[in-house]
Amino acid sequence: MPEQPVDEPDLGDVNGDGKVNAVDASQVLAEYALHSTNAPETFDESQKKAADVNGDGKINAFDASMILAYYAYKATNHDTAVPIKEFIAKELN
Ligand SMILES: [Ca+2]
Ligand SMILES: [Ca+2]
């Protein structure tokens, strides 16, 4: 398997398939569920960075809901959609 770059993962694309969608959101939720039961985490460093879309250092349901919100937004704004970073920055303001 080729090595994934660790420094700049695509924000929100947790499974690295090039898309930000419900699959990523559900992986974030699954990881969050593991954290809350003190189970060992399954995300690598790159996935953690991709999952923490609001950059607060935590992976939780908020990140999952932002990923879903971006996915819904992109589905209705194909041509004009801004990058997820900008979308989240707006959502947080
Ligand atoms: Ca993905
Ligand atoms: Ca977060």
Structure-token pair, residue 31: 């990881």
* CA 51–ligand 2 middle distance (angstroms): 7
Q: How far apart are CA 55 and CA 81, in angstroms?
A: 21
* CA 38–ligand 1 middle distance (angstroms): 25
pLDDT band of 8, cuts 50, 70, 90: low
Q: Which ligand has the shortest distance to the CA of 26?
A: 1
pLDDT band of 35, cuts 50, 70, 90: confident
Prediction pTM value: 0.86
* CA 65–ligand 2 middle distance (angstroms): 10
